[in-house]
Amino acid sequence: MLSRPDILTPADGAAVAVENSAASGPVVLVCEHASLALPERAGDLGLPAEALESHIAWDPGALAVSRLLSQTLDAVLIHQRFSRLIYDCNRPPESPAAMPEKSEIYDIPGNRDLGAAERYARTAALYVPFHDSISATLVAREAAGLSSVLVTVHSFTPVYFGKPRAVEIGILHDSDSRLADGMLEAAEGGPFRVERNAPYGPDDGVTHSLRLHALPHGHLNVMIEVRNDLIADNIGQGVVADYLAVLIQNAITACQK
Ligand SMILES: [Zn+2]
């Protein structure tokens, strides 16, 4: 278990990466679960290798799809460089899921009984800079006269607690469904099984980033969940990114009418 405030060392690098920061397209892409990397000092959190590489550590394929979307949409992309096992940046610090003691079938020994100092240190090292970076990006764009559409990109496991999931792409929203409605309409009759607020929804606490950065400011927003078997390789990532880019563009156009 970590027990020091300096969770990230210079060798680890920054918590946050911002790519294509000068992009002029309307979309701001966010990928909270982009990475399975753990800070050097975190060790393995007491987990076996299979868990450290599984969906409990990250959203496989989500960063690759985000990068393709960033190119196609000329969009800035902000992603977390460390695993959600150490801090899940789509959860507020007070949520038990921010530093989970258990994820699906795995107990996470390195997250058991964390004290206030450790929780604070992880929050300060990983969560705060990540969300500060998103805020700063949105504020700078506004100052430059650019409106922003917040799109967060995730992937989910095809089998959860032993149960297969049929949904292929989830379009998730909180109280502002404008963009999600437009994407769902654009998806009708298309090649993928696309569902609203699936396999999770706002009641599961997954819309934290939307609630933090989009809802208070009136930015169009959506959270996208892609079943990770569809984006396991370059070909799948390209197909899904192209598909999502069209849905996003059509939905933005529909919202502007
Ligand atoms: Zn995710």
Report yes or no on 66 lying in a domain. Answer: yes
Whether the bond between 93 and the residue before it is cis, its omega within 30 degrees of 0, is: no
The answer to whether residue 10 sits within a structural domain is no
Give 8's contacts (C-beta < 8 A, 6+ positions apart). Answer: 14, 15, 39, 82, 125, 126
- The domain of 227 spans 16-256
Residue 246 located in a structural domain: yes
Per-residue confidence in pLDDT tens, the chain, 257 aa: 455 558 999 999 999 999 999 999 999 999 999 999 999 999 999 999 999 999 999 999 999 999 999 999 999 999 999 999 999 999 999 999 999 999 888 999 999 999 999 999 999 999 999 999 999 999 999 999 999 999 999 999 999 888 999 999 999 999 999 999 999 999 999 999 999 999 999 988 899 999 999 999 999 999 999 999 999 999 999 999 999 999 999 999 999 88
85 C-alpha to ligand 1 centroid (Å) = 12
- Rounded to the nearest angstrom, the distance between the alpha carbon of 224 and the centre of ligand 1 is 9
- CA end-to-end span of the chain, whole Å? 53
- Tell me the CA–centroid distance for residue 226 and ligand 1, in Å: 9
Find the 58 Cα to ligand 1 centroid distance in Å: 7
Residue 9 in domain: no
Q: Domain count for the chain, please give it.
A: 1
| β-bridge mates for residue 156, sequence order | 227
Cα 225 to ligand 1 centroid, rounded to whole Å: 7
In a domain, 7, yes or no: no
The CATH number of whichever domain residue 146 belongs to comes to 3.40.630.40
CA of 111 from ligand 1 middle (Å) equals 19
Taking the centre of ligand 1 as the mean of its atom positions, its distance from the CA of residue 145, in whole angstroms, is 30
Residue 197: its pLDDT value, please? Answer: 97
What does pTM read for this prediction?
0.96
**Residue 149 β-bridge partners:** 27, 220
d(CA 12, ligand 1 centre) in Å = 22
Task: Tell me the sheet residues that pair with 80.
Answer: 16
The answer as to whether 8 is a domain residue is: no
Residue 5 belongs to some domain of the structure: no
Distance (angstroms) between ligand 1 centre and the Cα of 187 equals: 21
From the CA of 144, how far away is ligand 1's center (Å)?
30
11 in a domain, yes or no?
no
| Ligand 1: centre distance to CA 257 (Å) | 31
pLDDT of residue 230: 98
How far does the centroid of ligand 1 lie from the alpha carbon of residue 32, in Å? 6
The two tokens of residue 207 are: 């819309």
